[in-house]
Amino acid sequence: MNAAESSDAYAVLRNRDFVRYLLGRLVAVLGQQMFTMAVSWEIYDRTNSALMLGFVGLTQMIPMFVFTLPAGHVADTFNRKRVIVLMTVVVGVASLGLAAVSALRWPVGWIFVCLFVTGSARTFMWAASAAFLPALVERQEFPRAVNWSSGVFQLACIVGPSSAGALIALMLKHQPAFATAGVYLLNALAALIFCLLIGGVRWHYTAAAKEPMTLRTLLTGFQFVFASKIILGIITLDMFAVFLGGATALLPIYARDILRAGPDRLGLLVAAMPLGAVLCTFVLNHRPPLQKAGRALLWSVVAFGLATIGFGFSTWFWLSFAMLFTCGAVDNVSVVVRHTLVQMLTPDDKRGRVSAVNNLFIGTSNELGGFESNFVAHLFGPALGHTIVTGAVVSAVSGGVGTIVVVIGVALIWPEIRKYGRLDGR
């Protein structure tokens, strides 16, 4: 790598608006990760049910199915910055509601109501946010902008769960009734800070020609995705890999029943994957753009599957941490390649709707994958008369094997992915 390429690694950070976006993303994701960890801990602590833990993801997945098409239309029709800010306010209000539910020990059902509201707002916010980023940087800088954005996301994923775990453990000793409520209040504060930062981004909205919300306009994103073999292939790969390899949904079970760890060490386990992703961010940033992006994508998902299998069999805390760290590092390659290609191969007037479709595929695979992992753990554990430990191991290992099988299938069905070259398109 020559000196010019090395200096370009940080050139995008001289963009004031992009930096404000990154800082806002850091704060928002930090709050959201603390929120997610606290919800998982509270649900499992109050119900002792892997199935109920799986419903956490399922509840947030349902709004994606219901609102994805309208969310894409809104992102392509209205001011994307305003959509992002408004939906973040809704997330903050839902967090305040969840804090009240937790502190007053209302029925668990109210937790799922708040999660449904949060999932609905995030569906609209994700579509607008994904289409918003390309307008902040030059086209040639976009792969590195995606890499930095992914790195900031993963950094928040490191600090968030571990901070939430430590805070919950501390509050359990002194104020047990407010152990998780405090975390939900912090997420509401993070939403407010994010709104202030994004509000200061100098992004000039150009009013698009208002299209009526018809079935034809709503389906534009799907039509474009299915017409592009590369986009369809990489979205399919990521969707099934995440669906099958969602071992992170099993972490509360592994922490308490297999690794004999408390909420503080659960936080460390949750942080392991994003820690690996942050390391990968700096490695990718100091290298030239990927020369064989397609092959790098496929091999990274294979490595993800192998590491998931290793995690499934592990009974030693630090080996489990290392396997999750590896999953995070290789998954970051997949994220950068997929997000860059989806945005760069899509015209701006369709980015909101295509981003919504992408979020539907990936978001639902995350949430449904969490449900699938816990359902398999329940099925092969208590449902068949075995322990929950047996069910969790079967779930994690089978998911890793399935991920590798998916890679082979995608490589054969969409050979265009194997042949794709430089990520920046030069």
Confidence of residue 333 (pLDDT cuts 50, 70, 90): confident
Tokens of 415: 């050979």
| Helix, strand or coil, per DSSP, at residue 382 | helix
DSSP-derived letter for residue 261 is -
Residue recorded with tokens 């449900």: 371
CATH topology of domain 12-201+213-419: Growth Hormone; Chain: A; (1.20.1250)
Q: How far apart are CA 335 and CA 354, in angstroms?
A: 16
What is the mean pLDDT of the segment spanning 402-421?
88
Q: State how far the Cα of 290 lies from the Cα of 155, in Å rounded to an integer.
A: 22
Q: What average pLDDT does this structure show over 390-397?
A: 91
pLDDT higher than 60, residue 207: no
What is the chain's Cα-based Rg?
Answer: 21
At a CB cut-off of 8 Å and minimum separation 6, what does 337 contact? 234, 290, 293, 294, 296, 297, 423
Instruction: Look at residue 209 in the predicted model and tell me its pLDDT.
Output: 54
pLDDT of residue 5: 47
177 compared with 418, residue with greater pLDDT: 418
Q: Residue 295, class by beta-carbon neighbours within 10 Å (0-12 exposed, 13-18 middle, 19+ buried)?
A: middle
Output 49 or 326, whichever has higher pLDDT.
326
Burial 24-45 (b: 16+ CB within 10 A, else e): bbbbbbbbbbbbbbbbbbbbbe
- Confidence grade of residue 1 (pLDDT, cut at 50, 70, 90): very low
Summarised one tens digit per residue, pLDDT across range 85-135 is 999 999 999 999 999 998 888 888 899 999 999 989 988 988 888 778 888
Compare 289 and 358 and report the one with higher pLDDT: 358
Comparing C-alpha atoms, which of 110, 166, 135, 138 is closest to residue 11?
A: 138
Q: Please state, in angstroms and rounded to a whole number, the distance separating the CA atoms of residues 186 and 179.
A: 12
Give the start-end residues of each E strand in 177-256.
none
The domain limits of the chain are 12-201+213-419
pLDDT band at 210 (very low <50, low <70, confident <90, very high): low
| Distances, alpha carbon 243 to alpha carbons 238, 272, 309, in Å | 8, 19, 15
Exposed, middle or buried: residue 135 (CB in 10 Å: 0-12, 13-18, 19+)?
middle
pLDDT tens sequence across 236-251: 888 888 778 777 878 8
What is the share, in percent, of the chain residues with pLDDT greater than 70?
Answer: 92
Q: Which of 238, 222, 293, 236 is nearest to 413 (CA)?
A: 236
Task: Dig out the tokens for 377 from the structure.
Answer: 């753990």
Least confident window among 170-174, 183-187, 255-259, 401-405: 170-174
- Residue 191: band (very low, low, confident or very high) from pLDDT cuts 50, 70, 90: very high
